[in-house]
């Protein structure tokens, strides 16, 4: 949501959002088909909810926020809930959770409460009514007041007792259960293994696979034939004892439920601080792949029932509870601007500047648009609402424009014809998608070149980040890489950011990098198309810098997997007198060293992709280790990938590797392979 939005802008935006959300709901609900992901749709709903929260008088009766999905089907008898089934509001970050917490605290100062935290199961809510201890009605949620009577189907779920146990109850409670009514709510879910088995069976019968376990759980319960429900093997976890049996807290309610023989989630806990809520959320996020069922977040509820009752409701949801959803890999947001960045090799990359939005746990304000063809394909324009996706660790992609939400008077985006920094005419080579600033003296290119030279993967000079490099450029101290080695302590002292100690450390760090492995030296020169792998191939093949420099094009092309494009690029690089000078100057300070050939390494001939966060090493260290073992580091998973190494929170690469049958190894196994246990 734009912070400076006016009310009339909000009104227009809300109208469009409602229309779009409704369109997608119709597709899903009625036509059983979807055009955008659930995460993207959720993100639109979230924006709508936030706008409506800010301007409650703009809420209309037909807003998607005011309607409940899943109208009862006529085939089932309807049943009125004695106690209404409420919904939950949701939050997507600790900041939003904090805001929720502050809201209820303001209403009831100086009240305090513990929080009960439970998993948010991705299933179907079910209300169970027991009369005299016997299951009398099982119902779906419906619109919260009237649901569908699915008693016969619910009876087939083993996890739901047909009679409540009373032996362990106090005499007072026991009397209430035996002579009165008890209402219990919970979630019917399909376990992952049962879902997989069901899909295997579908495949055997030549039927299409089910895509979504929640829909299968819902479909299984809303079956007119209870035999089908029985065959689907659903599970059930209670999350609420809705009848007052004297329990002062929700946790006491959970204990009563278990005493009556109704399962609650063993992972549910009572915690006292937001910090521990944060840890619980994080832990469950990390464990979610290993759980037997799907979860999409955690539910946070004030443990004290009286306080919760006093706080009441807003809309359809209690103030005393909220769902803290896991942030999705996709979200929607607005493109505020499209800015062209000039890279080290002169490549122009259009970047979308976005209204900040949470995706996969981080705030995202930029997304790469890659090149002009990609922008044309997507037809992204400034002002557009887009779906962005974060796959793992890198800067997110724009995957789609939601055209219905496009404002009036937008124009297709065009690549500028001159470089935004040096104004040199931009070029695009035949058969290439990238536009370039061909001016080797372009300040933007020089700057990126210097950043690259000292970066971790190149010469790795500690204390020389982009900010310091910028400063050295501004002060006129550094024009070319060799200038770093000309720096003396007295030049640096007194510059902003560079206190005495740092200046000394910097000079020391540079002194330590006077001998560097040949492959790093080659890589640091920033030759177009020469990444770390190619640099290593060259270093291994030629052994010394002099031989690399002297190699004719024909010889370069025969080395490893260097072809005419890469070979041509290397040759062209050194044909430029400025580049030759640059190297000549550098060699006065730096001695490139022959590297050990690793052809006999453990990973020789293997291509390896790393994804997710590793615990014992950084991503760069893992890459280095693979190279040391003779393997080749690749960025994306394909059929040719030998291994995918996964850390925590692996993203799309993990899914892709699974679907391609690539061997997947975890960190422990990876370390064993490297002989590092
Ligand atoms: S408590 C006042 N606890 O999430 C409503 N709900 O998005 C109390 N759900 O309708 C709900 N796991 O179907 C609660 N541990 C849990 C849950 C849970 C899943 C579902 C439930 C609810 C929906 C709200």
Q: Tell me the CATH number at 121.
A: 3.30.470.30
526 falls within a domain: yes
Is residue 131 pLDDT above 90, yes or no? Answer: yes
How far is Cα of residue 170 from the mean position of the Cα atoms in its chain? Answer: 48
323 lines ligand 1 (CB under 6 A): yes
User: Which DSSP string corresponds to 73-119?
Assistant: PTTSPEEE-SS-----EEE-SHHHHHHHHHHHHHHSTT----EEEEE
The predicted model gives 439-456 an average pLDDT of 93
**20 and 84, same domain (yes or no):** no
Active site residues: 120
Predicted local distance difference test score (pLDDT) of residue 525: 95
**293 and 150, same domain (yes or no):** yes
Which range among 148-152, 339-343, 384-388, 657-661 shows the weakest confidence by mean pLDDT?
657-661
Which of 290, 308, 325 is the last residue in one of the domains? Answer: 325
Q: Residue 426 burial by CB count (10 A; 0-12/13-18/19+): exposed, middle or buried?
A: buried
Ligand 1 centre distance from Cα of residue 176 (Å) = 26
Predicted local distance difference test score (pLDDT) of residue 111: 84
How far is Cα of residue 653 from the mean position of the Cα atoms in its chain? Answer: 12
> Sorting pLDDT into bands at 50, 70 and 90, what band is 394?
low
The SS3 call for residue 355 is strand
Tens digit of pLDDT for each residue in 34-55?
Answer: 888 888 998 999 899 889 989 9
Task: List the structure tokens of 119.
Answer: 């998993």
Q: Tell me the CATH number at 45.
A: 1.10.287.610
User: Which DSSP string corresponds to 403-422?
Assistant: GGGPPSS-------SB-TTT
User: Which DSSP string corresponds to 142-199?
Assistant: TTSSEEEB-HHHHTT-TTS-SB---TTS-HHHHHHHHHSEEEEEEEEE--HHHHHHHH
**18 and 146, same domain (yes or no):** no
The predicted model gives 115-135 an average pLDDT of 95
**62 and 86, same domain (yes or no):** no
Angle at 265 between CA 273 and CA 242, to 5 degrees: 85
Q: Which residues span the domain enclosing 308?
A: 78-325
**518 and 544, same domain (yes or no):** yes
Beta-bridged to residue 238, according to DSSP, are 186, 264
Task: Give Cβ neighbours of residue 672 (< 8 Å, ≥ 6 apart).
Answer: none
How many domains does one find in the chain?
A: 4
Q: Which of 474, 509, 514 is nearest to 495 (CA)?
A: 474
Tens digit of pLDDT for each residue in 399-429?
Answer: 999 999 999 999 999 999 999 999 999 999 8
The predicted model gives 611-638 an average pLDDT of 86
> Sorting pLDDT into bands at 50, 70 and 90, what band is 4?
confident
Q: Which residue has the tokens 């004297």?
A: 246
Q: What is the mean pLDDT of the chain?
A: 88
Q: Tell me the CATH number at 623.
A: 3.40.50.10190
Is residue 669 pLDDT above 90, yes or no? Answer: no
User: Which DSSP string corresponds to 254-306?
Assistant: HHHHHHTT--B-TT-EEE-SHHHHHHHHHHHHHHGGGSSS-EEEEEEEESBHH
Largest CA distance in the chain: 96
What are the percentages of helix, strand and coil residues in the chain, rounded to 5?
40, 20, 40
485 lines ligand 1 (CB under 6 A): no
CA gap 18, 160 in Å, rounded: 39
Q: Do 158 and 196 meet the contact criterion of CB atoms below 8 Å apart? A: no
Tens digit of pLDDT for each residue in 245-266?
Answer: 999 999 999 999 999 989 999 9
Nearest CA to ligand 1 atom 14: 239
Alpha helices, DSSP H, located in 205-246: 213-221, 226-232
**465 and 556, same domain (yes or no):** yes
Q: Which residue has the higher pLDDT, 273 or 362?
A: 273
Q: Do 124 and 187 meet the contact criterion of CB atoms below 8 Å apart? A: yes
Tens digit of pLDDT for each residue in 226-239?
Answer: 788 888 889 999 99
**510 and 637, same domain (yes or no):** no
Tens digit of pLDDT for each residue in 293-343?
Answer: 999 899 999 999 999 999 999 888 999 999 999 877 789 999 999 999 999
Q: Do 426 and 414 meet the contact criterion of CB atoms below 8 Å apart? A: no
CA gap 113, 271 in Å, rounded: 9
Nearest CA to ligand 1 atom 12: 120
**648 and 510, same domain (yes or no):** no
Is residue 579 pLDDT above 60, yes or no? Answer: yes
Predicted local distance difference test score (pLDDT) of residue 66: 64
Ligand 1 centre distance from Cα of residue 85 (Å) = 10
Tens digit of pLDDT for each residue in 459-493?
Answer: 999 889 899 999 999 999 999 999 999 999 888 88
Q: Which residue has the higher pLDDT, 248 or 650?
A: 248
Nearest CA to ligand 1 atom 13: 125
The whole-model pTM stands at 0.53
From the alpha carbon of 119, which atom of ligand 1 is closest? 15
Beta-bridged to residue 337, according to DSSP, are 353
- Sign (positive or negative) of CA dihedral 392, 394, 400, 405: positive
Which of 593, 621, 648 is the last residue in one of the domains? Answer: 593
Is residue 73 pLDDT above 70, yes or no? Answer: no
Predicted local distance difference test score (pLDDT) of residue 70: 36
**pLDDT more than 90, % of the chain:** 52
Q: Tell me the CATH number at 516.
A: 1.10.150.20
42 lines ligand 1 (CB under 6 A): no
From the alpha carbon of 124, which atom of ligand 1 is closest? 13
Q: Which of 158, 226, 143 is nearest to 188 (CA)?
A: 158
**298 and 158, same domain (yes or no):** yes
**93 and 160, same domain (yes or no):** yes
Mutate which of 121, 213, 321, 326 to test ligand 1's pocket (most atoms within 8 Å of Cβ)?
Answer: 121
The predicted model gives 134-157 an average pLDDT of 91
Task: Give Cβ neighbours of residue 640 (< 8 Å, ≥ 6 apart).
Answer: 607
């Amino acid at each position: 949501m734009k912070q400076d939005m006016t009310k009339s802008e909000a009104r227009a935006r809300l109208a469009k959002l409602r229309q779009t959300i409704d369109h997608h709901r119709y597709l899903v609900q009625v036509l059983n088909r979807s055009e955008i992901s659930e995460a993207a749709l959720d993100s639109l709903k979230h924006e709508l909810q936030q706008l409506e929260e800010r301007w409650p008088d703009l809420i209309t009766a037909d807003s998607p926020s005011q309607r409940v999905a899943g109208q009862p089907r006529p085939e089932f008898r309807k049943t009125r809930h004695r106690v209404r089934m409420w919904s939950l509001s949701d939050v997507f970050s600790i900041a939003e959770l904090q805001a929720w917490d502050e809201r209820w605290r303001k209403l009831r100062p100086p009240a305090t409460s513990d929080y009960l935290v439970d998993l948010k199961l991705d299933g179907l809510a079910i209300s169970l009514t027991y009369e005299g201890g016997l299951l009398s009605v099982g119902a779906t949620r419906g619109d919260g007041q009237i649901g569908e009577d699915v008693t016969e189907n619910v009876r087939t779920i083993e996890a739901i007792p047909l009679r409540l146990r009373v032996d362990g109850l106090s005499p007072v409670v026991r009397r209430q259960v035996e002579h009165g009514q008890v209402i219990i709510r919970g979630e019917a879910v399909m376990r992952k293994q049962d879902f997989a088995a069901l899909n295997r069976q579908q495949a055997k019968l030549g039927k299409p696979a089910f895509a979504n376990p929640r829909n299968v759980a819902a479909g299984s319960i809303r079956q007119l034939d209870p035999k089908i429900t029985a065959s689907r093997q659903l599970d059930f976890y209670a999350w609420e004892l809705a009848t007052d049996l004297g329990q002062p807290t929700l946790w006491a309610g959970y204990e009563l439920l278990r005493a009556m023989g109704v399962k609650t989630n063993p992972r549910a806990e009572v915690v006292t601080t937001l910090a521990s809520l944060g840890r619980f959320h994080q832990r469950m996020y990390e464990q979610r792949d290993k759980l037997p069922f799907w979860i999409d977040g955690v539910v946070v509820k004030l443990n004290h029932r009286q306080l919760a009752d006093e706080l009441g409701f807003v809309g359809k949801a209690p103030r005393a509870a909220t769902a803290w959803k896991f942030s999705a890999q996709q979200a929607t947001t607005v493109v505020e601007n499209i800015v062209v960045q000039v890279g080290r090799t002169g490549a122009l990359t259009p970047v979308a500047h976005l209204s900040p939005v949470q995706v996969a746990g981080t705030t995202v304000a930029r997304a790469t648009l890659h090149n002009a063809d990609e922008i044309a394909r997507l037809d992204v324009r400034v002002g557009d609402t887009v779906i962005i996706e974060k796959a793992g660790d890198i800067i997110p992609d724009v995957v789609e424009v939601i055209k219905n939400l496009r404002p009036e008077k937008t124009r297709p985006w065009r690549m500028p014809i001159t470089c935004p920094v040096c104004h040199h005419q931009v070029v695009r080579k035949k058969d290439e998608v990238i536009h370039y600033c061909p001016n080797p003296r372009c300040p933007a290119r020089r700057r990126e070149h210097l950043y690259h030279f000292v970066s971790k993967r190149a010469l790795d000079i500690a204390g020389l980040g982009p900010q310091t490099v910028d400063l050295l450029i501004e002060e006129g101290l550094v024009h070319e890489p060799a200038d770093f080695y000309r720096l003396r302590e007295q030049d640096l002292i007194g510059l902003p950011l560079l206190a005495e100690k740092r200046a000394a450390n910097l000079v020391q760090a540079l002194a330590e990098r006077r001998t560097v492995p040949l492959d790093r030296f080659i890589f640091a020169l920033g030759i177009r198309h020469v990444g770390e792998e190619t640099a290593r191939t060259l270093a291994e093949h030629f052994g010394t810098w002099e031989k690399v420099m002297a190699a004719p094009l024909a010889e370069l092309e025969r080395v490893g997997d260097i072809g005419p494009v890469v070979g041509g690029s290397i040759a062209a690089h050194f044909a430029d007198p400025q580049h030759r000078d640059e190297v000549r100057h550098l060699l006065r300070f730096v001695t490139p060293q022959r590297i050990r050939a690793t052809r006999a390494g453990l990973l020789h001939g293997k291509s390896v992709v790393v994804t997710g966060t590793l615990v014992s090493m950084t991503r760069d260290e893992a890459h280095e280790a693979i190279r040391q073992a003779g393997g080749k580091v690749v960025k994306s998973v394909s059929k040719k990938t030998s291994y995918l190494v996964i850390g925590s929170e692996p993203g799309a690469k993990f899914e892709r590797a699974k679907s391609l049958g690539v061997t997947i190894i975890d960190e422990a196994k990876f370390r064993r392979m490297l002989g590092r246990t």
